């Protein structure tokens, strides 16, 4: 067995249908009295509901969270938190909202209580990201790890099927890369494989019955495991590519992960055969890369970067950026290899694995 280091991250998880009703009590547990509620413009109504639920514990709402956490939005949110004398952030929504809370916590040191409504997983990680000048900068700091996360599957039953699928496959990507991370360890590998299995099963059921609470619970459980895995170990090539494509070309986050994942896995197949066996087993597929592509296609997700609005002439720039300051990866990252990977992802080709 390979040597490893395992470090558990401190966070409190409240999971179950109806668990949102515990929100006031959980804010009290943090010792907070002036919570700033964060949400996207599209989720203003649920943000307002959270303010009502918190009552006197709420300092107000900032409903300007957007994808990839632009630096200007982060600055505006920090300013509002300061003006309202907020002593914690309650972030409801997906990765955009949680990411904004992290940007505030990074400088203002406010504790975060996260309420995920999609399968992002970022609520379980100390990873932050801020986009400035069309470049997304990321880092790790335990300061931005939410203190408490409330997972209420009932909040996800109205999530559109298409977004459920891509958000869920994004969560699968966290599990996949945790398995071949340089920091991989037996505990996280068990969690990651179970996360892939739960998400694949849950998403298949969600597509058939979008409001089925058991299916939603299974998918949210898998997303939690993916977030735990991503938070505990480092990510690799797939996440580097997606950060590059998202931050530079403003491609949609979850959809980009969905398209790129099978091709990143195909690229790494020869360098991590035992990991690929675990992924394939969790998917009940012949191979990991083919299984991931087929899962996305069978659930109706986009499978090409072209369909997301990327242009062919941007592929060379993406390849050049992706090899700068590369993340750890089990297979050496080359410009030629990445350019070929991106070409396959652009066209939406089914990966071919020997």
What is the three-state SS of 171-209?
Answer: HHHHHHHHHCCCCCCHHHHHHHHHHHHHHHHHHHHHHHC
pLDDT in tens, 133-154: 878 888 989 999 999 999 999 9
Q: Do domains 12-156 and 161-347 have the same CATH topology?
A: no
pLDDT in tens, 303-326: 999 999 999 999 999 999 999 988
Torsion-angle region of residue 97: left (phi > 0), alpha (psi -120 to 50) or beta?
alpha
Strand order in the sheet with 88-93: 12-15, 148-151, 112-116, 88-93, 35-38, 58-62
Q: Where are the alpha helices (DSSP H) in 55-136?
A: 71-83, 95-108
Residue 123 above 70 pLDDT?
yes
Output the pLDDT for position 243.
Answer: 86
For the residues 126-137, what does the mean pLDDT come to? 88
Give the residue extent of every domain in the chain.
12-156, 161-347
Q: What is the second-level CATH architecture of the domain 12-156? A: 3-Layer(aba) Sandwich (3.40)
The mean pLDDT of the chain is 95
Residue 31 above 90 pLDDT?
yes
Residue 51 above 70 pLDDT?
yes
- Among 129, 131, 99, smallest CA distance to 116 is for 99
Burial class (CB in 10 A: 0-12, 13-18, 19+), 354: exposed
Output the pLDDT for position 286.
Answer: 94
Output the pLDDT for position 5.
Answer: 82
Output the pLDDT for position 120.
Answer: 86
Output the pLDDT for position 92.
Answer: 98
For the residues 112-131, what does the mean pLDDT come to? 94
Return the CATH fold of 161-347: Dehydroquinate synthase-like, alpha domain (1.20.1090)
Output the pLDDT for position 1.
Answer: 67
Hunting for tokens 């969790």 — which residue is that? Answer: 282
Residue 60 above 80 pLDDT?
yes
Hunting for tokens 């659930």 — which residue is that? Answer: 299
Output the pLDDT for position 354.
Answer: 60
For the residues 10-20, what does the mean pLDDT come to? 96
Coil, helix or strand for 135? strand
Residue 65 above 80 pLDDT?
yes
Residues 6+ positions from 230 with CB-CB distance below 8 Å: 121, 122, 124, 125, 127, 174, 177, 178
Q: How many CB atoms lie within 10 A of CB 154?
A: 16
For the residues 40-50, what does the mean pLDDT come to? 96
Length of the chain: 354
For residues 154 and 156, what is the distance between their CA atoms, to the nearest angstrom?
A: 5
Residue 2 above 80 pLDDT?
no
Q: How many CB atoms lie within 10 A of CB 21?
A: 10
Output the pLDDT for position 211.
Answer: 97
The sign one gets for the Cα dihedral 195, 200, 201, 207 is positive
pLDDT in tens, 262-275: 999 999 999 999 99
Residue 4 binned pLDDT confidence (cut-offs 50, 70, 90): confident
Residue 47 binned pLDDT confidence (cut-offs 50, 70, 90): very high
- The tokens describing 194, both together, are 């179970």
Hunting for tokens 């949680």 — which residue is that? Answer: 98
For the residues 341-351, what does the mean pLDDT come to? 97
């Amino acid at each position: 067995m390979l040597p490893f280091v395992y470090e558990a991250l401190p966070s409190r998880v409240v999971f179950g249908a109806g668990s949102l009703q515990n929100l006031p009590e959980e804010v009290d547990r943090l010792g907070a009295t002036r919570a700033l509620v964060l949400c996207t413009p599209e989720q203003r109504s649920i943000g307002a509901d959270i303010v009502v639920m918190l009552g006197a514990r709420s300092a107000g709402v900032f409903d300007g969270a957007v994808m990839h956490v632009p630096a200007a939005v982060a600055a505006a949110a920090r300013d509002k938190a300061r003006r309202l004398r907020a002593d914690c952030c309650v972030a409801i929504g997906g990765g955009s909202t949680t990411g904004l809370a992290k940007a505030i916590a990074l400088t203002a040191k406010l504790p975060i209580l996260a309420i995920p409504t999609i399968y992002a997983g970022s609520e379980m990680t100390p990873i932050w990201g801020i986009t400035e000048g069309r470049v997304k900068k990321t880092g790790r700091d335990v300061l931005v790890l939410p203190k408490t996360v409330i997972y209420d599957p009932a909040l996800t039953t109205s999530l559109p099927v298409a977004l459920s699928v891509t958000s869920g496959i994004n969560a699968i990507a966290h599990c996949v890369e945790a398995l071949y991370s340089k920091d991989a360890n037996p505990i996280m590998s068990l969690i990651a494989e179970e996360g892939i299995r739960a998400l694949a099963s849950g998403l298949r059921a969600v597509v058939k019955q979008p409001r089925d609470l058991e299916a939603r619970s299974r998918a949210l459980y898998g997303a939690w495991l993916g977030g735990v895995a991503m938070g505990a170990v480092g990510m690799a090539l797939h996440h580097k590519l997606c950060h590059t494509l998202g931050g530079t070309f403003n491609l949609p986050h979850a959809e980009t992960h969905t398209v790129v994942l099978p091709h990143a896995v195909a690229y790494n197949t020869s360098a991590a055969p035992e990991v690929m066996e675990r992924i394939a087993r969790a998917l009940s597929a012949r191979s990991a890369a083919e299984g991931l592509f087929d899962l996305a296609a069978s659930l109706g997700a986009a499978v090409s970067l072209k369909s997301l609005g990327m242009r062919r002439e941007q592929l060379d720039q993406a390849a050049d950026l992706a090899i700068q300051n590369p993340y750890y990866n089990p297979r050496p990252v080359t410009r030629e290899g990445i350019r070929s990977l991106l070409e396959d992802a652009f066209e939406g080709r089914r990966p071919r694995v020997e």
